Amino acid sequence: MFERFTLNARMTVIRAQQEARELGHPWIGSEHLMLGLVAEKDAPLLAPARLGVTYEAYRPAVLAAADGGLGLAEEDREALTGAGIDLAAVRAHFERNHAPAAAAPAAAPVPAPEPARRGWLPFGRRKAAVPAPGPAPASTVVPGLAPDAHLPFTGHGTRALEAASKVMLAQPDDRITLAHVMLGLLTPGDELLARTLQRVGTDIEPLRAAVLADLGQVA
């Protein structure tokens, strides 16, 4: 699917998967693809930031609108369940990790790090300090998903990428760029994406019109 994507467009999809994992979402939806786009610092698309869709504002909007899986469209919930994803575990993870701070248990005290060990050389010279061993970094565990499993795209996520291809084919281009992905995402009918955008003060149609205006096209 991604052979005709530019490097930046591919990196957006990779970033979308990374963001989904870090948010505890065992799926890649249009909301994660949008998050990957606005995380791109060198993106030529200025309209999202101008309308308030910045990475810093949009990331919590995705977390809130997805609501631990309850915000997904019914077709996506059924497809993910059919793929073996435990949405109840996703919801439990969301409630456990994103509950109000007042309801969260007090954090356990963090033990002081073990001091670095020093060795001795002849004549009293010291070796360089050897860092104390620490725990190996753990990979992000995604609730409801088997370890190391690939995250599936939701129906809306897949349709957004297909729409990006159609946008590219309608223009004198032979590569799918960030602009094509953005326009593919901004297709009416994606309720979860619309809710995420509404949380930062805009919606699909005004953002699409602004992107087209920046590109010198007519909505």
128 occurs within a structural domain: no
Of 92, 104, 101, residue with least CA distance to 67: 92
Query: Is residue 31 within a helix (H) or strand (E), and if so which, with residue range?
Result: helix 30-38
Q: Is residue 119 part of a domain?
A: no
Residue 105 lies in a domain: no
Global pTM value: 0.78
Amino acid at 199: R
125 part of a folded domain? no
Task: Identify whether 206 is part of a domain.
Answer: yes
- Alpha carbon 19 to chain centroid distance? 3
Nearest C-alpha neighbor of 186 from the set 38, 72, 26: 38
Q: Is residue 108 part of a domain?
A: no
Share of the chain above pLDDT 90, in %: 48
Residue 70, pLDDT above cutoff 70: yes
pLDDT band at 26 (very low <50, low <70, confident <90, very high): very high
Residue 120 lies in a domain: no
Domains of the chain: total: 1
Tokens of residue 88, six digits: 């109840």
pLDDT of residue 149: 76
CATH number, residue 90 = 1.10.1780.10
Residue range(s) defining the domain that contains residue 94 = 7-99+142-214
Residue 88 belongs to some domain of the structure: yes
- Alpha-carbon span 179 to 44, nearest angstrom: 8
